[in-house]
Amino acid sequence: MKSETHIPIQRALISVSDKTGIENFARALTQAGVELLSTGGTYGALKKAGIAVREVSDYTGFPEMMDGRVKTLHPKIHGGILALRDVAAHTGAMSEHAIQGIDLVVVNLYPFEATIKKRGVTREEAIENIDIGGPSMVRSAAKNQRFVGVVTDPADYGRVLDEMQKHAGGLSLTFKRELALKAFALTARYDAAISAWLFETEAQHAQPDASPFPESCALVGRKVADLRYGENPHQKAAFYGLDACGEPALASARILNGKTLSYNNLVDLDAALALAKEFDEPFVAVLKHNNPCGAALAPDVAAALEHAWDGDPVSAFGSVLAFTRTVDLRSAEYLVSGNRFVEAIVAPGFDDDAFKLLTEKPKWGKSVRLLAVGDFGSASRDARDLEVKKLVGGFLVQERDLRAAGEGDCKVATKRAPTDEELVGLLFANRIAKHVKSNAIVLTQGTRVRGVGAGQMSRVDSVHIALRKAGVHARGCVLGSDAFFPFPDGVELALEAGVTAILQPGGSVRDSEVIAACDKHGAAMVFTGTRHFRH
């Protein structure tokens, strides 16, 4: 017997939903002397292309039935895949029952994930696109990887043919193990998608007090890219995308220019995009180390960019930007002028002249990463997409914080109510504070950020930082806080610096002292009743 790693492939079973490249691959296999078995639509396509192929029902002596639900679930199929060729009892059973060995399984699965993404898809249609025979064959072949190759990705067809040429018509054990790993990853991802969809579907009819989370939770992604390193150079890292994501995201973005994205770039860009999705108007966010250092709404994105950058121009150098509109030439000209530079920009798209300037300007062209995600807004956010935080030995899952207070949610707590202009600034500050690490303090002037205090262990320290960042602009600003003030000290510090109105959730045992401090200064304070911690 030849080395098991180089056994020539004599028989292949082909059954694919995605028929990309299958005719050329199948023809090359037959030219290499491989007998082909196939089913249903794949058999018809190969036959029509003039490729010699035997129908599975002819081989098994058992017809396809039940609208194709039963066709490959047969001992002559799975016995031919699973048999250990070096175990006498297995080869004896093959001889006794006229089972021929199947050395290569070429299968991809019914398009379940694509089906459930279609608008108006019915439950029955989704159920019918749950593949049974395909995963069974894939798992059988992957289990018996010493003797059987399994191909689930059309991108591997050429590699299989190259391997066969190198190894006298066979595949190396190393390559078969690689294919098996890819196959099990596919079935894991496929089953996870089915499980998640079934849970979401049933949750719509669940009792009001039922948990919104399943008893078991599978998180399976598709690798988008290996990264140069993680947060630090000594940490290895990779980026995975979730196929079920229903909104514009980094995993599906078109990378138009620049150096390879780093781990930290991706973390910052994701945070920037999440903040931008709060707004439907022209808006620009400037983020550094996962926190906004500047942000602004304006009649157009070029003006929004200038106001956002001016929020903290020192921190803005080397930041990432998110735009809610296509990046135009005026925005690009502003960025490349003066001593400005950013690591990456994510936006719906880039005007041709803006793209040309950003990619041809010295210092910018080879470095700045430009990502286009298509149009988005607050309505594009998918509430079904959950947040996951990994812990050692487990992970936490929660709903995304998509709530944003409106005018009707604000309860005036002080003697003076905020003016219309102050209220606009307060509600803007509240949306920004949602995306600032706790303890979060945001000072705004109209719809532009003037100062941010983030990630401090005490709220009063965050107030100090926000005031220092705002500088002379602090006077006349309004303040948004992600959580209540446990003491009046932070409020008093802000009011003494000229802050005129404050928004916070309320709920402290010392709320009365905080309110009294505002009343003493003639300032307005509103309670939203909603906290926005971000750890």
DSSP 262-286: PHHHHHHHHHHHHHHTT-SSSEEEE
Question: DSSP 3-state helix, strand, coil percentages of the chain (rounded to 5)?
Answer: 40, 20, 40
Give the residue numbers annotated as catalytic, written as ranges: 143, 289
> Tell me, what DSSP letter sits at residue 393?
T
DSSP letter, residue 434: T
Rounded-to-integer distance, Cα 293 and Cα 452, Å: 6
Give the sign of the dihedral formed by CA 390, CA 392, CA 397, CA 403.
Answer: negative
- 38 vs 58: CA distance, rounded Å: 10
Sort residue 50 into left (φ over 0), alpha (ψ -120 to 50) or beta: left
Torsional class of 276: left (φ above 0), alpha (ψ -120 to 50), beta (otherwise): alpha
**Helix extents (H) in 204-261:** none
110 in Cβ contact with 135 (< 8 Å): no
Q: How far apart are CA 15 and CA 11, in angstroms?
A: 13
Beta bridge pairs of residue 389: 396
How far apart, in whole angstroms, are the C-alpha atoms of residue 43 and residue 510? 75
**Cα 268 off chain centre by:** 14
Phi, psi of 224 (to 5 degrees): -90, -40
Residue from 284, 337, 347, 344 nearest 319 by CA = 344
Q: Which residues pair with 15 in a beta bridge?
A: 107
